[in-house]
Structure 1
Amino acid sequence: MGKISEALKKVMEEREKQKQLQREAIMRASVERKEEKSPKESSPQKAKKIPLEERFKIKEQLYIVKPKDNSEIDARVVVYSDYSSPISEQYRILRTNIKSSLTKARASKKISTTKPATSPYIFTITSALHGEGKTVTAVNLAVALASDLESRVLLIDCDLRNGEIHKLLNLNYKPGLSEILTGDFDWSVALHRTLIRNLFIIPRGQPPSNPSELLGSKKMRLILERLKVEEFTYIILDTPPLLTFTDATILGVQTEGVVMVVEAQRTRAHIVKKAKEFLEQTHSRFLGFILTKVDHYTPDFYGYYYHYHYKSAGVGS
Structure 2
Amino acid sequence: MAKFRDNAPVDAVLDGPLPGEGAAPDVAADPANERSIGDILAELRQLSAEQVEKVLQLQRKDGVRFGEAAVALGLASKDDVLFALAQQFHYPYASEEKRTVSSELVTLNEPFSPRAEYFRALRTQLMMRVLGDTDQRRGQALAVISPDSGDGKTYCAANLAVSLAQLGGRTLVVDADMRSPRLHEVFSLSNRAGLSSILSGRADKQVIQQVPAVPSLFVLPVGTTPPNPLELLERPAFGLLMRELAAKFDYVIVDTPAAALGSDGSVVAARCGAAVVVGRRHASRLASLQELVGSLAGSPAKVAGVVINEH
Q: TM-score, structure 1 length as denominator?
A: 0.67
> Does structure 1 residue 172 correspond to structure 2 residue 190?
yes
In structure 2, do the counterparts of structure 1 residues 34 and 281 end up closer, same or farther at CA, with 3 Å as the change threshold?
A: closer
1:240 aligns with 2:257: yes
Aligned equivalents of 1:244, 1:210: Cα separation in 2: 13
| 1:79 paired residue among 104, 107, 130 | 107
Contact 1:252 1:258 in 2 (8 A): yes
1:261 aligns with 2:278: yes
* 1:42 alignment counterpart: 10
Letter paired with 1:264? R
Equivalent in the alignment of 1:90: 118
Aligned-pair distance for 1:32? 8.0
> In the alignment, what sits opposite 2:164?
145
Counterpart for residue 204 of structure 1: 222
Residue 49 of structure 1: how far off its partner (Å): 5.5
Give the whole-Å Cα distance in 2 for the aligned partners of 1:48 and 1:204. 20
Corresponding residue for 2:155?
136
Work out the CA distance in 2 between the residues paired with 1:34 and 1:220.
9
How far, CA to CA, are the matches of 1:104 and 1:73 in structure 2? 28
Q: Tell me the distance in 2 between the aligned counterparts of 1:106 and 1:82.
A: 29
* Alpha-carbon distance between aligned partners in 1 of 2:301 and 2:130, rounded to the nearest angstrom: 13
**Residue 161 of structure 2 contacts residue 217 of structure 2 at CA under 8 Å; is this kept in 1?**
yes
1:148-227 maps to which residues of 2 (within 5 A)? 148-149=167-168, 151-186=169-204, 188-194=205-211, 195-227=213-245
Distance 1:234 1:179, change over 3 A: same
How many residues are paired up?
235
Q: 1:43-62, aligned counterparts within 5 Å?
A: 50-53=17-20
Q: What CA deviation, in whole Å up to 9, does each residue of 1:137-185 have, x standing for no partner?
A: 1100000000002x01000000011010011111111211111111343
| CA drift at 1:35 | 9.3
- Asked if residue 251 in structure 1 is aligned to residue 219 in structure 2, the reply is no
Q: 1:98 Cα shift?
A: 0.8
Structure 2 distance, partners of 1:120, 1:81, is 31
CA distance in 2, matches of 1:54, 1:235: 15
One-letter amino acid matched to 1:286? V
Unaligned runs of 5+ in 1: 1-26, 56-69, 110-117, 294-309, 311-317
Shift of 1:277: 1.6
8 Å CA contact retained: 2:176, 2:257 = yes
2:95 corresponds in structure 1 to none
Q: Distance in 2 between matches of 1:183 and 1:51?
A: 18
Counterpart secondary structure, 2:241:
helix
Change (3 A) 1:125 1:190: same
Whole-angstrom CA distance in 1 between matches of 2:217 and 2:185? 15
C-alpha contact (below 8 Å) 1:243/1:275 kept by paired residues: no
Q: Runs of 5+ in structure 2 lacking a partner?
A: 23-97
- 1:47 offset after TM fit, Å? 7.7
**Residues 249 and 211 from structure 1, CA distance in 2 versus in 1: closer, same or farther, beyond 3 angstroms?**
same
Residue 229 (structure 1) aligns with: 247
Identity score, percent: 26
How far apart, in 1, do the equivalents of 2:99 and 2:202 lie? 31
Q: Superposition pairs for residues 264-275 of structure 1, below 5 Å?
A: 264-275=281-292
Note if contact 1:180-1:189 (Cα within 8 Å) is conserved in structure 2.
Answer: no
Counterpart AA for 1:136: Y
Counterpart of 1:250 in structure 2: which amino acid?
V
Distance apart, 1:233 and its partner CA: 0.5
Cα RMSD (Å) of the superposition? Answer: 2.8
Distance change >3 Å, CA 43–CA 51, structure 1 → 2: closer
